[in-house]
Chain A
Amino acid sequence: MKSLDNKLMLGLLAFGIFGPVLFPDYTFQIALMWIMVLFAQTWDSMGGQMGYNSLGNIFFFGCGMYICTVTQVGLFYDVGDYTSATGSNVTFSDSQYFIGLGVGILAAGVGASVLAACLGWTVFGLRGPYFAIGTLGIALSAGELFGTWDWVGGGSGVAIPVYPGEADHKSMFFYTLCFLAAASTFLFYRWLFSTRFGLAVNAIRDDEGKADAMGLHTLRHKTVAWCFSAFFLGISGALFGNLTGFVEPLEVAFPTATFGIFMVAMSLLGGSGTFWGPVVGAIMFHVIKEATWTYFLGWQWVALGVIIIINVVYFQQGVVGWMQEKWPEKFGIEVDSSMSMEDEAKEAAQ
């Protein structure tokens, strides 16, 4: 099992580094793919591992995006001035741009975690569908509220400072940041789920009442897990905003019905609750999505909807879960020492 892990990681690492070199025209799409991987992982750390299926994680993505934008602009100019439709022509020097971006990304992560901590108190009393619908409500209302907040551009949105340099440099620069963000998310969760914290989170999923009775401080664990997930989502929001270059509340920052659902669909496609599932699911989903957008113009959403339906109706355990179920003896015979992990993964998939 260890060597499989390593091989997969090496494979992804190789693709991460050489992907944009081999396919330089696809840098933007590969960068998006890493953001998708990050989405699926952060969602699965809640939904798959802890049993709290949030439909509103996109909230942190959008907040991160706005926090980063406001920081990038606000460090050097007045934000209200900058966002008004007839606003003046402002320029950012190189150092201003990079300082703003660095501080902005960090602020996005931290800010999103703080928000998660505040919200945790309110929503973690909700269980099952109520939690899903409640978080969905938070994300939807956040989009509406940002839309009425003129200081950050309201419904007309706000343009992000332009990268001071060559077009291809910008692509590579943000590509690197996206890859680093996804890789550190991956490594972080890999470590986290090997600690006691991971066990506690799984215990909450399996039986929250019993976990509580065993003396586990469930609310604290849930909130901390949400903060972690929010931290990385906030950073991904900051990066995505800069990739797009334009932040608008309903469609870019809080796309509840697209990205917000994609993160769930990706986890399920790969196999929710398995460690590699979200990663594999995100990559597959992104590739399918990009391919349908090219070849099924006008039908791409139908294709996407059908994939989601087939996935959850006929294929609930996801790719990784399904493979583990389909060939247990093949895997089992060869991978003797990893039986315990196998079982755990299977259990999670069910």
Chain B
Amino acid sequence: MLDNINILWLAPLLNIQLIVDGILIGAIFALAAYGLALVWGVMNVKNLAQGEFVIMGGYIAWFGSTQGLHPILSMPIAIVIMFAYGWVIYRVIISRVVAKDMFISLLATFGLAIVMQQALNLMFGPEVQVADSGLSVRSYFGGSVTIADIRVVSFLLCCALATAVVLFMKKSRMGQAIRATAQDARAAKVMGIDTEQVYAFTYALNSAICGAAGVLVSMIWVIQPFYGLAHSIRSFVIVVAAGIGNLPGVIVSALGLGALEQYGGFVLGAEFQQATVVGLLLVVLVYRQIQMRKKRQAVV
């Protein structure tokens, strides 16, 4: 461990590699986490199938690439398919758990996650797959930092998507309705907003965002039907750390998590890369609890 820190000290350029890698991948985490924050904030559903949506988006891109479609071009297709899919899932399952105990939504989406994993497994087989973007890799600083073009492209796409979603939330009627519902569902209903419609749209939007993230994951990392859980956990860590309804917070913690994972993998060893995520979750929760305890005492 100390050796690894020593390497970083001796070759400071590696820090750039780790941070850039982390931030570029963190942007994808941010997309999925933002989707989670949306459904959590608006309809109080904790979607444990978040990672499976991501993986499903990845499979759409991969399938497209086997049919000769460039994975980046399959992004709009993935968004449309995933939006429709999310809508259906909302109608069939989620609409019946929205008003219920929060734990019910966790469990229902967990069941959904299992079914999706297996459906993907039955459809595409269990092999680890990659979609090839065909873009080149650039070297910087005499080859000690390499950045694949696809990572940069995906980062830009993430930014574009996020901007589009934010603008949509601010400007469009539906976006405003969503925000109104998030603030007070009852009041929104009284004001004539069809909250059922809003919920369906929100869930479908989340699914579409995850699908887009999945397309990028398939071009940067690898996908496999059972890899969803890690993405779900990341989304939860990010949202819990940032707090619900805190978009800048989500972005900052997602990018931070991306970089931290890289450092965790580098300094502690790759086996701790994912343990870093979980460990971070616990740290965040304990920290929040200490805060809360102080608050409770202050009230007393």
Within 8 A of A (CB), among B78-124: 93, 96-97, 100, 102-104, 106-108, 110-115, 117-119, 122
**Residues in A neighbouring B114, C-beta threshold 8 A:** 301-302, 304-305, 308
| Closest chain B CB from A325 CB (angstroms) | 16
Indicate whether A279 reaches chain B with its CB closer than 8 angstroms: no
Indicate whether B65 reaches chain A with its CB closer than 8 angstroms: no
Bound: A285/B229 CA distance, A: 23
Indicate whether B271 reaches chain A with its CB closer than 8 angstroms: yes
Bound: A313/B110 CA distance, A: 12
- Whether A140 lies near B93 (C-beta < 8 A) is no
**Residues in A neighbouring B156, C-beta threshold 8 A:** none
Indicate whether A312 reaches chain B with its CB closer than 8 angstroms: yes
Mostly, the B contact residues are helix
Indicate whether B8 reaches chain A with its CB closer than 8 angstroms: no
Within 8 A of B (CB), among A242-277: 257, 261, 264-265, 268
- Whether A314 lies near B278 (C-beta < 8 A) is no
10 closest A-B pairs by CB: A308-B111, A305-B114, A305-B115, A125-B289, A309-B111, A144-B275, A141-B278, A301-B118, A137-B281, A134-B285
Q: Select one of B115, B271, B281 contacting A309, CB under 8 A.
A: B115
- Whether A128 lies near B108 (C-beta < 8 A) is no
Q: Select one of B100, B111, B278 contacting A137, CB under 8 A.
A: B278
Interface residues of A (CB under 8 A from B): 47, 53, 55, 122-123, 125-126, 128-130, 132-134, 137-138, 140-141, 144-145, 147-148, 257, 261, 264-265, 268, 298-299, 301-302, 304-309, 311-314, 316
- Whether A129 lies near B97 (C-beta < 8 A) is no
Residues of chain B at interface, number, CB under 8 A: 40
- Whether B100 lies near A316 (C-beta < 8 A) is yes
**Residues in B neighbouring A148, C-beta threshold 8 A:** 271-272, 275
**Residues in A neighbouring B286, C-beta threshold 8 A:** 122
| Closest chain A CB from B32 CB (angstroms) | 16
**Residues in B neighbouring A299, C-beta threshold 8 A:** 118, 122
- Whether A265 lies near B119 (C-beta < 8 A) is no
Interface residues of B (CB under 8 A from A): 46, 93, 96-97, 100, 102-104, 106-108, 110-115, 117-119, 122, 229, 233, 236, 240, 271-272, 274-275, 278-279, 281-282, 285-286, 288-290, 292-293
Q: Select one of B111, B279, B290, B293 contacting A306, CB under 8 A.
A: B111
| Closest chain B CB from A203 CB (angstroms) | 18
- Whether B282 lies near A129 (C-beta < 8 A) is no
- Whether A302 lies near B118 (C-beta < 8 A) is yes
- Whether A261 lies near B110 (C-beta < 8 A) is yes
Bound: A148/B148 CA distance, A: 32
**Residues in B neighbouring A144, C-beta threshold 8 A:** 271-272, 274-275, 278
Q: Closest B residue to A53 by CB, please name it.
A: B103
Q: Closest B residue to A128 by CB, please name it.
A: B102
- Whether A125 lies near B293 (C-beta < 8 A) is yes
**A123-B285, A265-B111, A302-B114 known; 10 other A-B pairs, CB under 8 Å?**
A122-B286, A129-B102, A134-B285, A144-B278, A299-B122, A301-B114, A308-B114, A309-B115, A312-B104, A312-B107
Q: Closest A residue to B290 by CB, please name it.
A: A125
**Residues in A neighbouring B233, C-beta threshold 8 A:** 140
Bound: A87/B199 CA distance, A: 58
**Residues in B neighbouring A134, C-beta threshold 8 A:** 281-282, 285
Among A53, A130, A137, A305, max chain B CB count under 10 A is at: A137
**Residues in A neighbouring B118, C-beta threshold 8 A:** 299, 301-302, 305
Q: Closest B residue to A300 by CB, please name it.
A: B118
- Whether A308 lies near B108 (C-beta < 8 A) is yes
- Whether B104 lies near A316 (C-beta < 8 A) is yes
Query: Assuming A301-B118, A308-B111, A312-B108, is B271 touching A137 (CB within 8 A)?
Result: no
Q: Select one of B100, B107, B272 contacting A265, CB under 8 A.
A: B107
**Residues in B neighbouring A312, C-beta threshold 8 A:** 97, 104, 107-108, 111
| Closest chain A CB from B92 CB (angstroms) | 8
- Whether A309 lies near B288 (C-beta < 8 A) is no
**Residues in A neighbouring B229, C-beta threshold 8 A:** 257
**Residues in A neighbouring B292, C-beta threshold 8 A:** 125
**Residues in A neighbouring B272, C-beta threshold 8 A:** 144, 148
| Closest chain B CB from A251 CB (angstroms) | 12
**Residues in B neighbouring A301, C-beta threshold 8 A:** 114-115, 117-118
**Residues in A neighbouring B275, C-beta threshold 8 A:** 141, 144-145, 148
Q: Select one of A47, A261, A298 contacting B122, CB under 8 A.
A: A298
- Whether B240 lies near A130 (C-beta < 8 A) is yes
**Residues in A neighbouring B278, C-beta threshold 8 A:** 137, 140-141, 144
Bound: A305/B121 CA distance, A: 14
Bound: A137/B240 CA distance, A: 12
